[in-house]
Structure 1
Amino acid sequence: MGASYHQFCPVAKAMELLDERWTLLVVRELVSGSQRFNELRRGLPRMSPTLLSRRLHQLVRAGVVERHVDGNDVRYVPTQAGHELRPVVEALGAWGVRWIGELGDEDLDPKLLLWDMHRNVDHSAVPQGRTVVQFHFRDVPPALRDWWLVITGEEADVCDVDPGHGVTVTVTASLRGMVEVWRGDRSWPEALRGGAVTVSGPEALRRALPRWFMLSGFAAVPRPAPPA
């Protein structure tokens, strides 16, 4: 637990655990379905492994998470207390979309974007067999420029090196443009018309691609009306 606020208010008592750096983002990943350490790291690419281990230990000690060990397989599973934090995370995210709209360049991360997208594939809309979507971000350093999403059956894998399969469609975009589509700040048609995102490949697949992804859960949050 963090330092005590020495207040009986339940908000203060909750924040003694939750307001330490990264803690709520670890909870975000846990309630989104990540259970293994490496999965959590992929959803928190800028968090050090040491700090992640420390935060998980704190959450286990607080009864928010249980650590399940089966041989070499270690999973971190939210308890009832952990699951009850889901609406808290969702409410914070919705508030952030509505009132903290500014994104700096340092906030844009292709690792996190692709990890989030792979969790929101609509497998019923994707063609049968193996589908490979290559993402080319034209405005990021070369080491982070190309990503592949390999979709087979009910599985989706994120690759940062060429997996060696034929590419079904290629998405070329500015990183900001793709993030804005994912967050719901602009629609797929708007991004495609404006050139922030382009899709190349067979026409039927190009047209179908936006339906392969269920957008971020925050995309549908209504934005505040602009000031008069």
Structure 2
Amino acid sequence: MAARNYGQYCGVVTAVELVGERWALLIVRDLLVGARRYSDLKQGLPRIPTNILSSRLKELQATGIVRRVPLAHGLVYELTEFGRGLEDVVLALGRWGFQAMGEPAEGDIITPDSMTIAFRTAFQPDAAHRLPATVYDTHLGDFALRLHVDRDHLNVLRLGPGNARPGTRGADLAFAAGPGIRGLISGELSPADALAQKTVRVLSGDGALLERFAGTFHLEPAA
């Protein structure tokens, strides 16, 4: 059962009752990337108290949004079909929230799952459809993501041990960036300025492809 009841017959109210509790949508965000163990969810949300994480997972299971799946080495949590219906909602919230994002506060972190959803939020399939297929390796702090853009399709893969498969295509452009990548995605920084200010550092490949990246991953900030 939802933790709160607002006493109104309305779809928005029902949605808030289902996923409006603190941390619930962030759990959904991370599960949109893929199935996760309890420890994975805790690692991706380091500030969530363990009792709250347990409670939210139980609530999300009770409402049919999340289910537990047994594997050979334990249990994982994954979204049900009903839960996956929240993807467009989460991406739309990400686009809306992007408009109000300022500089990161002290102690703010980015995680592989949060950045995976951020790139999916910023992806512009209409722009990508007109461009050649391109692979970007983005190094963000202590992790890296591979963005494989093929026409209007985006696949995001976390790079690391076990992810490198023989025969797979290498990156056309590999670059490193910090939170300042927001300026490139928003258009507040041109690719040339991002490179000149060292907001983005090309690690390998064709640096000119940063222009293509900025056109493929773009969100407008608030006016």
Could you state the TM-score of these two structures normalised by the residue count of structure 1?
0.62
Which residue is equivalent to 2:40?
A: 39
Contact 2:104 2:179 in 1 (8 A): no
Contact 1:118 1:158 in 2 (8 A): no
State how far apart, in whole Å, the 2-side matches of 1:79 and 1:205 are: 39
Q: Please state if 1:156 is matched with 2:164.
A: no
Which residue is equivalent to 2:192?
A: 189
Contact 1:5 1:16 in 2 (8 A): yes
Residue 82 (structure 1) shift: 0.2
Which residue is equivalent to 1:58?
A: 59
Which residue is equivalent to 1:177?
A: 180
Residue 26 (structure 1) shift: 0.8
Which residue is equivalent to 2:142?
A: 147
Map 1:7-22; keep pairs closer than 5 Å. 7-22=8-23
Question: RMSD between aligned alpha carbons?
Answer: 4.0
Distance change in 2, residues 1:53/1:206 (3 Å): farther
Which residue is equivalent to 2:93?
A: 92
Q: Which secondary structure state, in structure 1, belongs to the residue aligned with residue 220 of structure 2?
A: coil
Could you state the TM-score of these two structures normalised by the residue count of structure 2?
0.63
Residue 92 (structure 1) shift: 1.2
State how far apart, in whole Å, the 1-side matches of 2:90 and 2:84 are: 10
Distance change in 2, residues 1:7/1:26 (3 Å): same
Q: Which secondary structure state, in structure 1, belongs to the residue aligned with residue 207 of structure 2?
A: helix
Which residue is equivalent to 1:143?
A: none
- Whichever residue aligns with residue 135 of structure 2, its letter is A
Q: Which secondary structure state, in structure 2, belongs to the residue aligned with residue 190 of structure 1?
A: helix
Residue 156 (structure 1) shift: 3.5
Q: Please state if 1:125 is matched with 2:128.
A: no
Contact 1:118 1:157 in 2 (8 A): no
**Corresponding pairs, count:** 189
Q: Which secondary structure state, in structure 1, belongs to the residue aligned with residue 16 of structure 2?
A: helix
Distance change in 2, residues 1:191/1:10 (3 Å): same
State how far apart, in whole Å, the 1-side matches of 2:209 and 2:37 are: 29
Distance change in 2, residues 1:40/1:185 (3 Å): farther
Contact 1:31 1:78 in 2 (8 A): yes
- Whichever residue aligns with residue 29 of structure 1, its letter is D
State how far apart, in whole Å, the 2-side matches of 1:184 and 1:74 are: 42
Distance change in 2, residues 1:49/1:158 (3 Å): farther
Residue 183 (structure 1) shift: 6.8
Residue 186 (structure 1) shift: 3.8
Distance change in 2, residues 1:182/1:76 (3 Å): farther
Which residue is equivalent to 2:75?
A: 74
Q: Which secondary structure state, in structure 1, belongs to the residue aligned with residue 68 of structure 2?
A: strand
Contact 1:66 1:79 in 2 (8 A): yes
Contact 1:64 1:81 in 2 (8 A): yes
Which residue is equivalent to 2:30?
A: 29
State how far apart, in whole Å, the 2-side matches of 1:55 and 1:14 are: 15
Residue 195 (structure 1) shift: 2.8
- Whichever residue aligns with residue 158 of structure 2, its letter is A
Superimposed CA distance per residue, residues 47-80 of structure 1 (whole angstroms, 9 cap, x where no aligned partner):
2333222211110111111111134331212112
